[in-house]
Structure 1
Amino acid sequence: MKTTIILTVLLVFLCKNDVYGVPRKFAQSEMSYSADGRSNKTYYLSPDKGNFFLAFLNCLSAGMELATIESKEESATVKTLLLSTNITDGWKNGYWLSGTALAHNETSEYHWFSTGHKIIYFDWAPHQPDNTNGIERCIEIGLRNETIGWNDQNCMLSLGYICQTRGPCTYSGQ
């Protein structure tokens, strides 16, 4: 009983006091997505750029993960966040998501690097993925011809990136 109370108090403190290291310079989404109350994500748009791997590490070091988009509703939330930033047209102006096909070169099977889950929801831009020159194995989201969508991109390209936190902050100790 005492352990449950102590853990609950600690969790409330951590949730209320923002000690997870979310940098203040990140643009936070005004919306979060909740699926039947089981998941809740808040997205953060980094003002920095980096290759896919640096983006993953930077999100991780900030106590977050490189973003996953697992539904139409989540996609709409991220698109709204991007539109609020006056995103520039062109694939080289996009933002990294954690999707990659690096583990499956022959089949181009995509997984979320942040979770290891196979991607089952896609929001590809028209004519994507195209794996130009056989080197586009990571997923970015960007604006192209007035449409926001996913594009397969060279993982070493320096792009912005979107981090996410999952919540709500809860504890279900017994």
Structure 2
Amino acid sequence: MTLAYLSIGSNIGDRLHHLVEAVRALHSHDGVEVLAVSSIYETAPVGYTDQADFLNVTIRVETVVGAQELLAICQQVEQVLGRERTIRWGPRTVDLDILLYGTDNIEAENLVVPHPRMHERAFVLIPLLEIAPLIAHPMAPGKLYSEEVAVQDSGVLLWKKVDGVEHFLRLKG
């Protein structure tokens, strides 16, 4: 079993519904168990800014599938929930990113773990630190993600407090 952390965001349509359905799909998948879900945070878009604000969560999963298979599962969930890839960093019904996969360092054409920009993104780090406050960068032993400058970003707003996986899965958009 491997612990992995994923970031999920949505800014099209019923954002909360898309987040809940993404977590539900992962949680019901054989070989993937969602152990923790952060509270829901609202943030302005990064990169391409001419779009609606995002809702974001981070989840901790325990899985028996490899990183590439987990990526395929995430992409399948995105497709089922209507994700269209037209503009880089553009609007999307749902976006699932693997942040960490155990302590693995993966550099493949279609997957880089740890996620290469996570340390710069408060919308990733703040929810991550909520569910794993002492998590350290696997490639820099002893360096906590809580020490990253991005954590100080005041543009990440608590949208809804979440009290566990079951509470999150009962939320309605």
TM-score normalised over the length of structure 2: 0.31
Bigger share in helix: 2
Query: TM-score, normalised on structure 1?
Result: 0.31
Higher-Rg member (1/2): 1
